[in-house]
Structure 1
Amino acid sequence: MKHLLCIFLVIALGNISFKANAYTERNMLQKAADETTLKNVLVMQQAWVPYPAYTDRTAWDTLMGPNKQRLIEAGEKLLNYKWQLIPATAYLEYERTGDRKVMENPYGANTQALNTLMLAELAEGKGRFIDQLLNGAYMSCEMNSWVLSAHLPYQSSKRSLPDFREQVIDLGSGGYGALMAWIHFFFHKSFDKINPVVSLQMRAAIKERILDPYMDNDKLWWMAFHWKPGQIINNWNPWCNSNVLQCFLLMENDKNRLAKAVYRTMQSVDKFINFVKSDGACEEGTSYWGHAAGKLYDYLQILSEGTGGKLSLFAEPMIRRMGEYMSRSYVGNGWVVNFADASAQGGGDPLLIYRYGKAVKSDEMMHFAAYLLNGKKPYATMGNDAFRSLQSLLCYNDLERVIPKHDIPDVTWYSETEFCYMHNKDGLFLATKGGFNNESHNHNDVGTFSLFVNTTPVFIDAGVGTYTKKTFSSDRYTIWTMQSDYHNLPVINGISQKFGQRYKAMNTTCNEKKYTFSTDIAGAYPTTAKVKSWIRSYTLDGRKLTITDNYVLNELLVANQINFLTWGKVTFPSAGKVCIEVKGEKVELDYPSQFKAELERIKLDDSRLSNVWGKEIYRITLKTEVKKATGSYKFVIQQMK
């Protein structure tokens, strides 16, 4: 497999008719408007921008409200900020050791400083921050590239050092370009009073790095213009397109060129909407929701603004379902359902969730956004995303008045993506999945589950460690967090699940009335596992979760093994029982007498994991000497008072 950067692009092998991998030619945006129609509704000369002119101080004071002093104080801390040079060796570190952070840390500090200074100057309006903004903008133009080192191997050179002869667009460069476009929009007149060359250089840099390569290069994988069945289209598509759209709407004033560019983004984003399952689930995991569905919302909001509200998909039920996935996946106390590379912590940005909910008329999302605030006042979003910061200023007052409530159905069944969430009045929350092993940010986890007791995770999905070059390479599945052996799954005939399009669940069902979920996971294992069927079933009943494995092997090689991943204190009070205590919650796992339990302590040296779980988690391994080609196992997890 060739170099792969922040995404695991794989051309699949085998049968691609599996419904969880369906691509549906919806083309919602192109059906809403062709290029001629779009041209007629585009709002020109940045008249679409919903924020006051920089010089309209009364309007900015009203808009900023309680954010004003907070943003000014944040900007004051950066008046003496030293803009950080990113040396060649920082870029090269990615290909030398796989370390991304040595380049990304100073890069991120610079973009956050730019965004904060922009907000501070908009808040105060006295020109105190203009020189620092000028310094940052000038320095940014002097960079050879705005692309992150981990994504630069998309250059023809395949190297992680910027090549001035070629410009590609990635998550970093797109966001940088959008930020520079907003700074240019608000402050180019102020810059021109100092020296007009800076504004001209900004415009030239955005054109060279964003506008021209977007129109001239249709081979960028995330644009998906050359998509083939089996390839992934994920959060990169709406994320990059939303940034590109901002750049064009803010910088291009020729109607013909603008219409052509905006329509091109519509064609590209349609590919993402076509790829996502109509049930609305985010297969990348909950913590990617803000970059997947959330960035699609950003794109659609910008497109709506830029066309005077004439072009909108917010009435589409699928778009609403994509938004509500975030509220459905939230367990409580900061814990969320996590599959794939997603983290088990994080409820999302309340202001983003509120804006999305308001756009699609979802009371569930708007109340959930207020619920996440937990009584705190909403403030403007900071960071390095200029659009989200500015948009947050438009809605914080409205959000403050919303009644906090997290009201979701007891069972949510995503029948195409094959995710199932169940929770009950006894405090249990179960998340299960079928799916296949080539989902975006995939882990080999077909058939796994997570169990939360009174919002506390007990049986867990560890998530993923800090991203390195190895994470998105052919060595990805040598990392333990990616392997089925470190999910709540069996090892069949001594064989683990395998990565690839053909490794998938079959006959996945959910009975929402009976709180049951069932899937045949045999297809997620290679032929060497010699498994004909392995039906994993889950039943949630009061304080109890029952897991049943019914299996048929074509040939018996070695005894089967069942793994459970957990955290907290694990003890073995007697044969056939495991006791787990976590954060004041206690459960007991009863398992068949033929098994013997072993405990593995997994030390977490990676901060991305330890920040969630602490210093260690545990793998309970159930081993048996009983060898049967067909059989049934029953495991009961009981909440203890």
Structure 2
Amino acid sequence: MRSESLGELLGGVDPGQLRSRLGIPPLERREVWAAADSITIERVLAEAEADRGRPWADALGSLFVRYVRDGDRATYERAVADRQERLTRAVIAAAATEDQRWVDEAADGAVVLCEQSTWSLPAHDDAHARRGFALPDVTAPYLDLGAGEIVAQLAVADRILGVRWDDSWPGLRERIRHEAEVRVFTPFETRDDLWWLGYWREVNNWNPWILGNVVLAAVLLLDDGERVARLLARALDSLDRYVAELPADGAIDEGVAYWWNGAGRMLELLDTVAAVTDGRLDARDIPVVAEVLRFPMRMHLGGEWYVNVADGWARSRGHEPWQLPFRWGSLIGDARVVAWAQASRRHGEPVAGVAGGLPRLVRALVDGAWRDATPLDAPLPAAVWLESVQLSVRRGEAGSAEGLALAAKGGTNDENHNHKDLGSFLVAAGGRPLLVDIGKPTYTAQTFSAERYGIRAMQSGWHNAPAPLGLEQGAGPLFAARVLAAPGGEPGPRNNADAPFELELAGAYPLEEGDSWRRTFRLCAGDAGGPARRIEVADVWSLRDAGPNRVHLVAAGDVEAVGPGAEVEADGHRIRIVALHDGAPVEPLREVWELDDPELVAIWGPRLTRLVYAVPGRSGSLTTLIEELS
């Protein structure tokens, strides 16, 4: 939408009225804060009290330059996150109690962030690439995810505590606006070279994430309605590039983990747009918006566990903003999305966490419907087929995590946050993954460098994929799987939902013309349509060379050899794996990976085990049978 049209919608509207439309209550709205979820407030107050006994975290220059020196980005990021989380707790404590101690604590946090040399994170800042700096270039601030998060947090803090800060901290609000202008608004208005705007390359989750925070901050901090209209027009023009890349089936190739800070951020931005335009720009009836909203619900395996692809993690981190899909499911009238969100609502637990950021925490705190929501059973669709990313998810019966679930994917090796995972699959028993997609370890400088695929977790050899002639899959759009037979499943009609999923995988590897490696996945239905207890994965190949072909399986849990097969157990769930090479059992080689990365340990525990099946020959077959054990 052009800025002139937005100017007409926003023209003549008092900036204070625009801010009030966002539903972020200032401290003076005592009736709102008195009704906020008491359990969450009590948790935040207890944590805030603990904060007061320690100094604010030091985001030192020596931590920032580690990214250039040794690739460590996490230590500096953790220090900045610690500052932000402490500020969030202080703002909520001040709003809940009106105690001047917390007003002062929040002001200290705002000053700490204003005095931080950069709001950009070291892995994103462009000063090293442009000028060879190890430190940020304060004369040309870079607008990244970190800057967007900080400006939105300060804007919401200013909205809530502004009147009290005017009384006891005169000048602070002006300082916040100055830093927001220099670090965010001016770069956003004047720099077309920011790649995530989509003017010269494809976009990913950065686009809606940053845009939503910039627009929220602009509405809350700027008093010039015409400028707000221009900023909003620019944001919507950029967002169009993200929306244009969303497939009709709503799939997110970055996976569920990135949905929260990609498509979910888009929904929050659309909420802001609808609010400030008084409902005259409302996206709830756009079909792709509804399908994108349903994506994480369709990837749910049960409990904390999800189908994960690319850099995503398989387990809920516990601080996802569940109020977001709850609200949007209610808006579009999708009872299953609402039920999925409520499946993570816990009696006696906070409505949201501090780690999700101040804007998301405030939205959850003041949403009475979410506060009063009771836990429901997750819908767990029986069959999902997302053609755009060639991803199939199957289970024996809808609404139940019992039995086995199978997720398998094709696609290309040019996806966002790509791993070489074509033809890979995962198997969950009782909702708990036992044959797994590892996900990402802690990000370092290597992660998004030319050495990315030197990271074990991103290699096809550490996915549940074949290795024809012992080869790794290739990287880039030319390396792709081809669907030979696809099962049905939502979002389309469920015709042939019980049909096998078959892929030609030769195109994923640097093989000769005419080589073939076909993989077929079958979920065998249980008795009377009940939980599935058996999965078959059939590989059939025909190659010009007779190399050392291998098939890999990565297991999480305790793995033991039983006869020619293997058994995997975790959290009381157990499966047996038997592989037949041209009809004869083949015993796998076991390789144990003792994990030392904290992100991987938090999800999988102390180790992963790779089962390696050697299957020589120019042609042949391997049938992998996976059965649930009671």
Q: TM-score normalised to the size of structure 1? A: 0.89
Quick check: 1:351–1:378 contact (8 Å CA) kept in 2?
no
Change in Cα spacing, 1:388 to 1:531, as seen in structure 2 (3 Å) is: farther
For residues 163 and 126 of structure 1, the distance between their equivalents in structure 2, rounded to whole angstroms, comes to: 38
> Tell me, what secondary structure is at the counterpart of 2:64?
helix
For residues 508 and 270 of structure 1, the distance between their equivalents in structure 2, rounded to whole angstroms, comes to: 33
The yes-or-no answer on 1:514 pairing with 2:489 is no
One-letter identity of the residue aligned with 1:544: R
1:89 CA drift (Å): 1.1
> Tell me, what secondary structure is at the counterpart of 1:633?
strand
1:166-209 residue CA offsets vs partner (Å, 9 max, x unmatched): 11111111100111112222333322333532221111100000
For residues 395 and 580 of structure 1, the distance between their equivalents in structure 2, rounded to whole angstroms, comes to: 43
1:234-289 residue CA offsets vs partner (Å, 9 max, x unmatched): 11111111111111111222222111110100011111111122211121122222
1:337 CA drift (Å): 0.8
Which of 74, 93, 114 is the equivalent residue of 2:87?
Answer: 114
Tell me what 2:156 maps to: 182
Tell me what 1:344 maps to: 314
Aligned counterparts, 1:80-99, within 5 A: 80-99=53-72
- Gapped regions of structure 2 (runs ≥ 5): 489-496, 526-532
Change in Cα spacing, 1:76 to 1:582, as seen in structure 2 (3 Å) is: closer
For residues 58 and 374 of structure 1, the distance between their equivalents in structure 2, rounded to whole angstroms, comes to: 25
1:152 CA drift (Å): 1.4
For residues 478 and 557 of structure 1, the distance between their equivalents in structure 2, rounded to whole angstroms, comes to: 26
> Tell me, what secondary structure is at the counterpart of 2:621?
strand
Tell me what 1:492 maps to: 468
One-letter identity of the residue aligned with 2:80: Y
Once the two structures are overlaid, the 10-residue window that deviates more, 341-350 or 85-94, is 341-350
Quick check: 2:351–2:370 contact (8 Å CA) kept in 1?
no
Quick check: 2:345–2:373 contact (8 Å CA) kept in 1?
no
One-letter identity of the residue aligned with 1:423: R
The yes-or-no answer on 1:534 pairing with 2:522 is no
For residues 377 and 580 of structure 1, the distance between their equivalents in structure 2, rounded to whole angstroms, comes to: 33
The yes-or-no answer on 1:612 pairing with 2:586 is no
For residues 59 and 588 of structure 1, the distance between their equivalents in structure 2, rounded to whole angstroms, comes to: 55
Aligned counterparts, 1:164-183, within 5 A: 164-183=138-157
Quick check: 1:368–1:404 contact (8 Å CA) kept in 2?
yes
Quick check: 2:274–2:280 contact (8 Å CA) kept in 1?
yes
Tell me what 1:523 maps to: 507
One-letter identity of the residue aligned with 1:249: V
One-letter identity of the residue aligned with 1:541: C
1:596 CA drift (Å): 4.3
1:490 CA drift (Å): 0.8
> Tell me, what secondary structure is at the counterpart of 1:291?
coil
Quick check: 1:72–1:121 contact (8 Å CA) kept in 2?
no
Tell me what 2:447 maps to: 471
Quick check: 1:377–1:400 contact (8 Å CA) kept in 2?
no
For residues 437 and 496 of structure 1, the distance between their equivalents in structure 2, rounded to whole angstroms, comes to: 12
For residues 403 and 263 of structure 2, the distance between their equivalents in structure 1, rounded to whole angstroms, comes to: 29
For residues 370 and 633 of structure 1, the distance between their equivalents in structure 2, rounded to whole angstroms, comes to: 42
The yes-or-no answer on 1:599 pairing with 2:571 is no
Quick check: 1:569–1:581 contact (8 Å CA) kept in 2?
yes
Which of 331, 342, 364 is the equivalent residue of 1:370?
Answer: 342
One-letter identity of the residue aligned with 1:224: G
Tell me what 2:204 maps to: 234
Q: How many residues align?
A: 600
Tell me what 2:168 maps to: 194
1:359 CA drift (Å): 2.8
Tell me what 1:392 maps to: 364
> Tell me, what secondary structure is at the counterpart of 2:486?
strand
1:489-539 residue CA offsets vs partner (Å, 9 max, x unmatched): 111122110111111111354223324211111111124x66622221101
Change in Cα spacing, 1:465 to 1:69, as seen in structure 2 (3 Å) is: closer
Which of 243, 246, 254 is the equivalent residue of 1:273?
Answer: 243
Q: CA RMSD in A?
A: 2.1
Identical positions, percent: 27
Once the two structures are overlaid, the 10-residue window that deviates more, 61-70 or 360-369, is 61-70
One-letter identity of the residue aligned with 2:310: A
> Tell me, what secondary structure is at the counterpart of 1:470?
coil
Aligned counterparts, 1:207-218, within 5 A: 207-218=181-192
Tell me what 2:534 maps to: 544
Quick check: 2:254–2:309 contact (8 Å CA) kept in 1?
yes
1:212 CA drift (Å): 0.3
Tell me what 1:141 maps to: 114
Tell me what 2:416 maps to: 440
For residues 44 and 570 of structure 2, the distance between their equivalents in structure 1, rounded to whole angstroms, comes to: 40
Q: Higher relative CO (CA 8 A, sep ≥ 6), structure 1 or 2?
A: 1
Change in Cα spacing, 1:524 to 1:399, as seen in structure 2 (3 Å) is: farther
> Tell me, what secondary structure is at the counterpart of 2:420?
coil
> Tell me, what secondary structure is at the counterpart of 1:107?
helix
Tell me what 1:565 maps to: 554
Quick check: 1:418–1:508 contact (8 Å CA) kept in 2?
no
For residues 302 and 346 of structure 2, the distance between their equivalents in structure 1, rounded to whole angstroms, comes to: 11
Once the two structures are overlaid, the 10-residue window that deviates more, 337-346 or 366-375, is 366-375
Tell me what 1:284 maps to: 254
Which of 504, 516, 539 is the equivalent residue of 2:480?
Answer: 504
- Gapped regions of structure 1 (runs ≥ 5): 1-32
1:544 CA drift (Å): 1.2
For residues 403 and 569 of structure 1, the distance between their equivalents in structure 2, rounded to whole angstroms, comes to: 32
Tell me what 1:404 maps to: 376
For residues 557 and 531 of structure 1, the distance between their equivalents in structure 2, rounded to whole angstroms, comes to: 14
1:336 CA drift (Å): 1.0
One-letter identity of the residue aligned with 1:245: V
For residues 116 and 344 of structure 2, the distance between their equivalents in structure 1, rounded to whole angstroms, comes to: 39
1:148 CA drift (Å): 1.0
Quick check: 1:381–1:389 contact (8 Å CA) kept in 2?
yes
Quick check: 1:367–1:402 contact (8 Å CA) kept in 2?
no
Q: TM-score normalised to the size of structure 2? A: 0.91
Which of 386, 391, 396 is the equivalent residue of 1:424?
Answer: 396
For residues 278 and 179 of structure 1, the distance between their equivalents in structure 2, rounded to whole angstroms, comes to: 33
> Tell me, what secondary structure is at the counterpart of 1:457?
strand
Which of 560, 565, 573 is the equivalent residue of 1:585?
Answer: 573
One-letter identity of the residue aligned with 1:499: A
Which of 386, 394, 397 is the equivalent residue of 1:414?
Answer: 386
For residues 572 and 40 of structure 2, the distance between their equivalents in structure 1, rounded to whole angstroms, comes to: 39
1:380 CA drift (Å): 4.2
Change in Cα spacing, 1:583 to 1:174, as seen in structure 2 (3 Å) is: same
Tell me what 1:61 maps to: 34
Once the two structures are overlaid, the 10-residue window that deviates more, 582-591 or 338-347, is 582-591
> Tell me, what secondary structure is at the counterpart of 1:132?
helix
Which of 31, 37, 41 is the equivalent residue of 2:5?
Answer: 37
Quick check: 2:246–2:288 contact (8 Å CA) kept in 1?
no
> Tell me, what secondary structure is at the counterpart of 1:602?
strand
Change in Cα spacing, 1:414 to 1:147, as seen in structure 2 (3 Å) is: same
For residues 317 and 88 of structure 1, the distance between their equivalents in structure 2, rounded to whole angstroms, comes to: 47
One-letter identity of the residue aligned with 1:335: W
> Tell me, what secondary structure is at the counterpart of 1:599?
strand
Change in Cα spacing, 1:158 to 1:351, as seen in structure 2 (3 Å) is: farther
